[in-house]
Amino acid sequence: MNDLMESIPELEDASQVCHWLASWKWSEAAGGNFSIRIDELPENIQHLSGKTPRSLPRAVPVLGGTYLLLTGKGARAREIAARVEEGVGLYWILKGGEEFVSLWGNDEPTSELHAHLAIHEMLRQVRPGHHAILHSHPTNLIALTHIPEMRDSSHLSDLLLRMQSEARIHLPAGLAYVPFDLPGSDALGEATAQALRKTNVALWHMHGAIATGESISQALDYLEIVDKAAQIYWRLVSSGIKPSGMTDEHLRQSLEHFGLWEQYNQARYSK
């Protein structure tokens, strides 16, 4: 176990992220899950042998030969934070992308495996530097999807990311809203993969949020930024204020200063 933790630093990162998810009550019970793609194992642990190959729920040839650190079915964030090996498994996706074997740790993949596979397949082609996917249940973000006008990616992005002056700088392409589909279904996974092609954060209807990042810590950063914006929104609304956020001029000045104005406009007009 110590050799694996030293060889795969993503495990320690995942453990720390799960600590915060539990502390913030973003992953109640076994809610939420994550995965981290590893393209090649360090040489000192390439000897790991797998169990009997099992079929993946969808073929992902683009991921053939890669590895996934993946939360197990029913794993709790608070327990992963304390004993990562009990809630996280290391899986090898075999060449061809139709089967996988469990190499270490929890050998029962999360029920959201469909979504993780679909998103990783998209990421490896569109944003190969993004190796991590994090899904959790931030209260402020779930509450937003109860509001009919927030069920539109453009409106959601434009209003929410004006609540704090740096929010849009972190997410110039905005947010995505994904309508309801059955949790754990291939349809939800495919819809989410498409929604995340141009942005790093999506809200699932009354279910939670999902983010991608170069690391799981960065994916958490994105969720934290969006949740803070939502928290500001709810505090203003609860005070009887209808928030409008940053003006168009202030938003433009900020994005131009950081060289993000063109990226913002491309995302805005391509929706």
The rounded distance, in Å, linking the Cα atoms of 196 and 202 is 7
The confidence score (pLDDT) of residue 5 equals 77
The upper half-sphere exposure of residue 58, i.e. CA atoms within 13 Å in the direction of its Cβ, equals: 20
- Place 32 in a pLDDT band, splitting at 50, 70 and 90: very high
The confidence score (pLDDT) of residue 44 equals 83
The confidence score (pLDDT) of residue 229 equals 98
- Quick check: 23 pLDDT over 60? yes
Token readout for 57 is 């729920």
The rounded distance, in Å, linking the Cα atoms of 231 and 68 is 33
The confidence score (pLDDT) of residue 47 equals 81
Q: Which of 24-33, 110-119, 211-220, 260-269 has the lowest mean pLDDT?
A: 260-269
In percent, the amount of the chain with pLDDT more than 70 equals 98
Q: Please, what sign has the CA dihedral across residues 117, 127, 197, 199?
A: positive
Left, alpha or beta for 105 (phi > 0: left; psi -120 to 50: alpha)?
left
Sketch out the chain's domains with CATH numbers: 2-269 (3.40.225.10)
- Quote the mean pLDDT of the chain: 95
Give the mean pLDDT of 180-192.
96
In percent, the amount of the chain with pLDDT more than 90 equals 90
- Place 50 in a pLDDT band, splitting at 50, 70 and 90: confident
The rounded distance, in Å, linking the Cα atoms of 60 and 82 is 32
pTM, entire model:
0.96
Q: Which residue in this structure is represented by tokens 């030293």?
A: 6
User: Which helix or strand (DSSP H or E) is residue 202 part of?
Assistant: strand 201-204
Give the mean pLDDT of 142-158.
97
Reported as a single tens digit per residue, the pLDDT across 236-252 is: 999 999 999 999 999 99
The rounded distance, in Å, linking the Cα atoms of 116 and 161 is 26
- Quick check: 269 pLDDT over 90? no
